[in-house]
C-alpha cells in the first residue's frame, strides 16, 4: 500500500488545486475545504492567503495519469516519384 501524498489536484481545481488537493488528501468534500478557506480569510485570518500562496509554490502537482505514453515518430511513406 502506497502512503498518501499531499499534492495539488489536477482535476478538482479553481485556482491552483490546493483546496482540491487537501480535499483529496483528507477525504473531505472540496466545497467544504473551500468554504472553510474563504470564511477564514474573510473573518480576519488574512495570513491564510500567504499560507495558500506558499502551498501553491511548495505542494507538487498530482501526477498526470491520463497522459498517453510517448510514441516514436512515424517515418514518412516512401515517395513514389522516380529520379
Residues 21-71: tens digit of each pLDDT: 888 888 889 889 889 888 888 887 677 888 888 888 888 888 876 555 556
- Count of C-beta atoms within a 10 Å radius of residue 10: 15
Per-residue pLDDT at 81 exceeds 70: no
User: What DSSP designation does 74 have?
Assistant: P
DSSP β-bridge partners for residue 61: 8
Q: Give the three cell numbers for residue 2.
A: 502506497
- Count of C-beta atoms within a 10 Å radius of residue 41: 15
- What ranges do the domains of the chain cover? 1-63
Band of pLDDT at residue 72, cut at 50, 70 and 90: low
CB 25 within 8 A of CB 6: yes
pLDDT of residue 69: 54
Amino acid at each position: 500500500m502506497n502512503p498518501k501524498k499531499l499534492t495539488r489536484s489536477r482535476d478538482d481545481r479553481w485556482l491552483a488545486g490546493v483546496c482540491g488537493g487537501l480535499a483529496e488528501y483528507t477525504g473531505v468534500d472540496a466545497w467544504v475545504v473551500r468554504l472553510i478557506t474563504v470564511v477564514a480569510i474573510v473573518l480576519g485570518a488574512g495570513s491564510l492567503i500567504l499560507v495558500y500562496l506558499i502551498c501553491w509554490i511548495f505542494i507538487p502537482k498530482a501526477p498526470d495519469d491520463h497522459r498517453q505514453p510517448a510514441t516514436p515518430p512515424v517515418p514518412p511513406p516512401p515517395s513514389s516519384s522516380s529520379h
